[in-house]
Structures are given as C-alpha cells and as structure tokens.
C-alpha cells in the first residue's frame, strides 16, 4: 500500500492549464504537490524541498526537462522522474535511457499516468 499523503509530487510544465489540471488531479488522489513553470524553478525546488516524484514537461523555456532530469540524476536521494511532452525532440527510449521511469506523450490520460506512477512506486 502506498502512503500517498507523505509523497510530494513536483509538477513542471510551462502550460498553466496543464499545470493546474495535473495539480488538481494529484491532490485529489491524495498526494502533496508542488508546481514549477520552468526547469530552473524546478531545480530550485529540488534543492530546497523534499520531492519524491517529478512529473516534467520536456520542452520549456528557462530550463528544459532534460536539465531537470540531469539535476535529479546528480542528487543523493533521487526522486522518481516521469516525462510528459507533446514534443518529438526526444524519443521515449532516450528519455528512459537518461533516467526517466516513463515517458507520456501529450495528450495523455492523466489517470493512466497516476496509475503508472503507482505501479513504479510498488516496484
């Protein structure tokens, strides 16, 4: 059983509507949430707060998702990392090889994303 109320999800996306929708859904499912509108803001949060899961867009101004993933890869306690993106700039295989647990293409099913995160948490 996953104790969601003790898990913090950092949602990183430069599209306000997607950010708000994902924050509402993760909160509804019982997770604590933090949000960032760019990679640089996400990195600041990762350095200053306990983050268990990162759900990040790939292509954003001011620090893209690969910059965030690279930062996560250098952390002592690495949060689980998931990409969501509408861009074809990176392949699923490249993202997973770089350390992402999964890659979801936009538009994506938010319920499927959360279920997949929970599957990975149980691994």
Query: What confidence score (pLDDT) does residue 1 get?
Result: 67
Closest to 41 in 3D by CA, of 31, 51, 32:
51
Sites in the chain below the pLDDT cut of 50: none
Where are the chain's structural domains? 4-106
Q: What is the pTM of this model?
A: 0.93
pLDDT digits (tens, 9 = 90+) for 24-57: 999 999 999 999 999 999 999 999 999 999 999 9
DSSP-H helix ranges across the chain:
16-28, 39-48, 65-73, 92-97, 110-122
Closest to 2 in 3D by CA, of 86, 96, 119:
119
Q: What is the architecture of the domain spanning 4-106? A: 3-Layer(aba) Sandwich (3.40)
Question: What's phi and psi for 54, nearest 5 deg?
Answer: -115, 130
Question: What's phi and psi for 73, nearest 5 deg?
Answer: -60, -25
Query: What confidence score (pLDDT) does residue 95 get?
Result: 81
């Amino acid at each position: 059983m996953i104790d969601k109320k003790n898990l913090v999800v950092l949602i990183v996306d430069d599209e306000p509507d997607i950010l708000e929708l994902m924050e509402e859904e993760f909160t509804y499912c019982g997770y604590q949430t933090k949000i960032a509108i760019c990679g640089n803001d996400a990195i600041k949060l990762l350095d200053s707060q306990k983050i268990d899961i990162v759900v990040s867009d790939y292509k954003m101004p001011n620090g893209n998702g690969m910059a965030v993933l690279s930062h996560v890869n250098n952390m002592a306690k690495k949060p689980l990392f998931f990409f969501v993106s509408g861009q074809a700039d990176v392949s699923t295989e490249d993202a997973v090889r770089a350390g992402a647990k999964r890659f979801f293409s936009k538009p994506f099913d938010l319920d499927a994303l959360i279920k997949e995160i929970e599957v990975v948490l149980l691994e």
